[in-house]
Structures are given as structure tokens and as C-alpha cells.
Amino acid sequence: MRWVVDSSGRFRLRPYYEQEELDAECERIVTGFLEAKYGKLSFPLSTDDLSVLVEKDTSDLDLYADLSCEGDDVEGLTDYFPRKKPAVRIARQLTLDNSRDRRLRTTLAHEYGHVRFHAFLWEDTLPKTPEKSLAEKLSGQRQRYERIKAGLKTGSLSGSRPVSFSASPRPPGQRDNLGPRCRRSCIFDAPVFDWMEWQASYVCGAVLMPISSLRDLVKTSVKKWDDSTWLPVNSVHADELTRQVADVFAVSPDAARVRLSRLGILQSSQPNS
């Protein structure tokens, strides 16, 4: 992870993650969770297990929240706090309607992306966690974040002016812990310019369809049709692979297609053409 200028205006600087970083960390998390609980990897990750995974890193998970005041298309949200874990709320219609279980799963995984990879931006102190890997990197980056923040406030950084790292200005009386409101259209396919939603949507796919298990499935399937490492996105074989991924990992075909496209397995034209 590295810091880059936040063109959205929410922060002065924001975290930039490589896709490989997100894939590796999500696989580490899911693999560790499943092996600790079951002693093996087994997919799909159940909705209950996914809920437990989210609960471990939150102060509260409400699966029956009334989010009608947030707008018809908001299905999940995360609120951040300076001295406690974030709180996640999921629209109750997703939990109550069994036919929308896959939508519930993608929403949970999306909010987990916000919890796991963005909560430290609202912390007053360094995160205290025994976990290693990216967690250690986040701790180190947090220290750097505080140093840069202090420099910006005092104007001691060359070419800079005092700027607050708090979230972008909000109407009077609105809560300071207001985090992302996740709209239906951005759960697994957010636009790149909305960095928080894009990162959370990538994590959504990486948690539900971990990279190594997904590649093993793709390798076996694609080998039946072709020796190449990619498929034309509009081909019959691409449709078949998308259905297989959706069935194995219990996600929607749209979520499977987005994941395969982001990994370059489905492409609209020949690579390097």
C-alpha cells in the first residue's frame, strides 16, 4: 500500500492498493478462517461464516437494518468511530428474502472491504492487532499518515498548506463518523474513480472467490476448450465459465463476470493487440 492524493476530496491523501495486494490479503484471511474452523478449505463460503468474519472486525453487525432513509438503492453501510471498531448495517430485505441470499453475501463481503481496508483512516491511535502481513503494513503506513498529517497542519511540508484529514465537509449536524453508503449498482462493480467503493467491490470478489481457488477452477475449465489463459468476454465458453464460477462460489453471474474480467481471464480483445 502507498499513499496518493485523494482527488475525491474526502481526504488529503488516501491509500492505494495493488490488486495483487488485495488478493493476497483476502486469501490469507479467508484461508486462515476456514482452516481454523473446519481444518480445510471448502467453498462456497457460507453466509453464516461470512457474517462471523465481518463480526470479528466490527463493533456491531445489524443484518436487519431499516435503511429506507438512505435511499431505495442503499443496501449496506459502514460507520466509523475514532476509538472503537466500525459498525455495519445491512438492509433487512436482503436477510429476510431467501431468494436474495447471493445479494446478501456480496453486500456483506463489500462492507467487509470497507471495514478491513478503510477503518484505520478514522482511528485516533495505531491499530492493535497480532495479525501480520498487510495489517503490519497498515500500522506502519498509519504512522507515516500521522507524520504527514502533522506536517500538513503546521505547514511544515514543502509546498503544502494546512489541510484536515477528516472526511469532506458535511451539512451542520451530520455525524462525523458517516462512512460509505453502498449502493446496489456499486456492490461488486464500482467505478474506478470512486476509490473507496472500487476497493471494497474488489475485496468483495476476492473474499467470495479467493484467487488461488478461482484460478484452479479456471485452469481446469479453460483447458477443456483452449490452451490460452484468457477467453473472449462474449464467447460461449466465457458464459459457461461464468456460470461455473457463480455456482461453485455461490455468487451471481454478474459478480463472477466482473471478477473474471478484473483478473484478465475474460477480455474484450486479444491481450497486447
Question: Among 45-49, 209-213, 232-236, 259-263, which stretch is predicted with the lowest mean pLDDT?
Answer: 232-236
Mean pLDDT calculated for residue range 45-68: 95
Shared domain check, 233 and 113: no
Shared domain check, 252 and 133: no
Mean pLDDT calculated for residue range 95-112: 95
d(CA 1, CA 158): 23
Domain count, the chain: 2
The alpha carbon of residue 190 and the mean position of all alpha carbons in its chain are separated, in whole angstroms, by 10
Shared domain check, 230 and 201: no
E-strand stretches of the chain: 2-5, 13-16, 60-65, 74-81, 84-91, 181-183, 231-232, 266-267
Shared domain check, 163 and 262: no
Nearest C-alpha neighbor of 246 from the set 238, 236, 255:
255
Do the domain assignments include residue 273?
no
Please, which pLDDT band fits residue 150 given cuts at 50, 70 and 90? Answer: low
Question: Among 98-102, 128-132, 185-189, which stretch is predicted with the lowest mean pLDDT?
Answer: 128-132
Shared domain check, 244 and 144: no
Shared domain check, 182 and 226: no
pLDDT at residue 91 in the model: 94
Could you list the residue range(s) of the whole structural domain that residue 104 is in?
2-208
d(CA 257, CA 188): 10
pLDDT at residue 114 in the model: 94
Task: Give the end of a domain, one of 170, 191, 208.
Answer: 208
Mean pLDDT calculated for residue range 182-207: 83
Shared domain check, 115 and 30: yes
Burial class (CB in 10 A: 0-12, 13-18, 19+), 202: buried
d(CA 234, CA 89): 36
Do the domain assignments include residue 15?
yes
Do the domain assignments include residue 23?
yes
Do the domain assignments include residue 235?
yes
For residue 63, the one-letter residue type is: L
Please, which pLDDT band fits residue 268 given cuts at 50, 70 and 90? Answer: confident
pLDDT at residue 37 in the model: 95
pLDDT at residue 104 tops 50 = yes
Cβ-contact 134, 1 below 8 angstroms: yes
pLDDT at residue 257 in the model: 94
d(CA 200, CA 170): 22
Cell of 34: 476456514
pLDDT at residue 103 in the model: 94
pLDDT at residue 115 tops 50 = yes
Question: Among 96-110, 170-184, 186-200, 222-236, which stretch is predicted with the lowest mean pLDDT?
Answer: 170-184
pLDDT at residue 261 in the model: 93
Cβ-contact 165, 11 below 8 angstroms: yes
Do the domain assignments include residue 40?
yes
Looking at residue 229, the DSSP 8-state letter turns out to be S
Shared domain check, 182 and 73: yes
Shared domain check, 200 and 76: yes
Query: Per residue in 159-180, pLDDT tens?
Result: 332 222 233 323 333 334 456 6
Do the domain assignments include residue 98?
yes
Shared domain check, 232 and 107: no
Do the domain assignments include residue 272?
no
Shared domain check, 176 and 79: yes
Do the domain assignments include residue 66?
yes
Shared domain check, 259 and 236: yes
Query: Per residue in 2-35, pLDDT tens?
Result: 999 998 888 888 999 999 999 999 999 999 999 9
Instruction: Report the mean per-residue pLDDT for the chain.
Output: 80
Nearest C-alpha neighbor of 266 from the set 250, 243, 242:
242
Burial class (CB in 10 A: 0-12, 13-18, 19+), 107: buried
Please, which pLDDT band fits residue 81 given cuts at 50, 70 and 90? Answer: confident
pLDDT at residue 246 in the model: 97
